[in-house]
Amino acid sequence: MRARSLVFAALIAPLLAADGAAQNARTATLDWINANQAKFEQSAMKIWDWAEVGYQEVQSSALLQSMLREGGFDVQPAIAGIPTAFVASWGQGEPVVALLAEFDALPGITQDASPRRAPIETKGAGHACGHHLFGVGSVAAALAVREWMANNRIAGTLRLYGTPAEEGGSGKVYIARSGAFDDVDIVLHWHASDRNDASPSTSLANVSAKFRFRGLSAHAAGFPERGRSALDGVEAMNHMVNLMREHVPQDSRIHYVITRGGEAPNVVPDFAEVYYYARHPSGTMVQELFDRIVEAAQGAAMGTGTTVEHEIIGGVWSVLPNETLARAMDANLRQVGGVTYDARERAFAEEIHATLPPDAAAIGTEAEIVPFREYRSGGSTDVGDVSWRVPTAGLRTATWVPGTASHSWQAVAAGGTSIGVQGMMVAARTLALTVMDVFNTPRLVADATAEFRRRLPPGFAYRPLVGDRAPPLDYRKE
């Protein structure tokens, strides 16, 4: 019996040693991220302060590229015809593992890092979706993994894609369309949130467009018969689309904003513009919805004696989940753990929480990890197009006070404080450990790829919903 025990011990000793070495490497990676937290915090706060909108993120993109170059990455700027998009690479060979980084802000929402409503009057945009944290958190993970790969001679290629204009500009769609992801094996990402969750999730496909009506100007009182109001065209279109809502699939979403409606009430406007979003879980159905919206616009123009043209601004597929990768991410998130507030952060959080609806998630849930399950979110993201090209998984971390809605002043406020940074660091640690798992476990890549292929519909061929248009680099310019 003793001889058998000695043989068994001899067999498992190398495995235990390898296991111990792997755990030591994971610990060293987390220690490296923690040791460099101050640098990552400073970078995130710079991008929070700049708050650059889609395709105009010149300073934000340059800062992230600089961090990666200093960390040993080869950086290729201005990919896919987008000045602020880039790809940073390190290593060689397979597998090719990629991280995504966003950094655009939202127009029309500003807020100081205060628990009370305090708009910053000199700013026209704010990071109400946490992309300042997203970009830096992904870069932190990439730099940490590069350190591990270099020190341990790990084979494979690590990439980070700087992806502008997620907020309605579909930046990743143009990058995917260019073929930049064609040789990538796995893509990982994360997003700001009010909770910690690595469950596999899908989203809504989305097509957005600006409809531009043109008529004839005239004095609205003196010569009304000579005028043809472009604003009438917009209003007639909106009315018909609102009637259409009764006759669309229940899980459809349509919303719009009038971006130009004229300059003076006594001048019949000869130009007006309305900006539309159409959403549905199915990319095919959202295209059908959009075609009906176009027909409504054409009918409105005929009825008001105006003309109309439209420009597709963005179009994204729903996210294709990957449970295999999500389970690996979830396991690492649970190892890393959630966010723990100190006394100062808790006081800030309590003041913010008092401004939220009574049924908002309670303070304390920022420390928890949401149970693993597959679900669909109500928003849209250009990560969707990437996920139909490459096996993809993401996570959310508690960068905001529990119960906070995205695109709110409360989100901007918390994102500009150590509360946001804490959530960012949870994401960086989780991403880094998951990338290490991918490099260390060929079976994980194989299983994720097999699931990806099973989930694709028979005969599926990816076609971007933006068609062949060029990136709308001026879509946020006034």
pLDDT at res. 377: 85
The number of domains in the chain is 2
pLDDT at res. 200: 96
Which domain-ending residue is among 264, 295, 316?
Answer: 316
**Could you tell me if 322 and 418 lie in one domain?**
yes
Which domain-ending residue is among 289, 316, 343?
Answer: 316
Q: What is the domain-level CATH number for residue 304? A: 3.30.70.360
In a domain, 263, yes or no: yes
Tokens of 221: 């009182």
**Could you tell me if 352 and 441 lie in one domain?**
yes
pLDDT at res. 18: 56
CB atoms within 10 A of CB 354: 10
- Chain position carrying tokens 């905001």: 400
For 15-47, how does the pLDDT look when each residue is reduced to its tens digit (9 = 90+)? 444 577 889 999 999 999 999 999 999 999 999
pTM here is 0.90
In a domain, 81, yes or no: yes
In whole angstroms, give the CA distance from residue 85 to residue 80. Answer: 7
**Could you tell me if 269 and 417 lie in one domain?**
no
> Per residue of the chain (478 residues), what is the pLDDT tens digit?
445 445 434 444 444 445 778 899 999 999 999 999 999 999 999 999 999 999 999 999 999 999 999 999 999 999 999 999 999 999 999 999 999 999 999 999 999 999 999 999 999 999 999 999 999 999 999 999 999 999 999 999 999 999 999 998 999 999 999 999 999 999 999 999 999 999 999 999 999 999 999 999 999 999 999 999 999 999 999 999 999 999 999 999 999 999 999 999 999 999 999 999 999 999 999 999 999 999 999 999 999 999 999 999 999 999 999 999 999 999 999 999 999 999 999 999 999 999 999 999 999 999 999 999 999 888 899 999 999 999 999 999 999 999 999 999 999 999 999 999 999 999 999 999 999 999 999 999 999 999 999 999 999 999 999 999 999 999 898 7
Q: Alpha carbon 13 to chain centroid distance?
A: 44
**Could you tell me if 275 and 329 lie in one domain?**
no
**Could you tell me if 438 and 305 lie in one domain?**
no
Phi-psi region of 234 (alpha: psi -120 to 50; beta: other; left: phi over 0): alpha
**Could you tell me if 44 and 187 lie in one domain?**
yes
Please give the residue range of the domain that contains residue 256.
205-316
In whole angstroms, give the CA distance from residue 339 to residue 420. Answer: 10
pLDDT at res. 14: 46
In whole angstroms, give the CA distance from residue 426 to residue 321. Answer: 22
In a domain, 346, yes or no: yes
Which domain-ending residue is among 285, 316, 347?
Answer: 316
Q: What is the domain-level CATH number for residue 425? A: 3.40.630.10
Provide CB contacts within 8 A for 42, sequence distance 6+.
none
**Could you tell me if 216 and 235 lie in one domain?**
yes
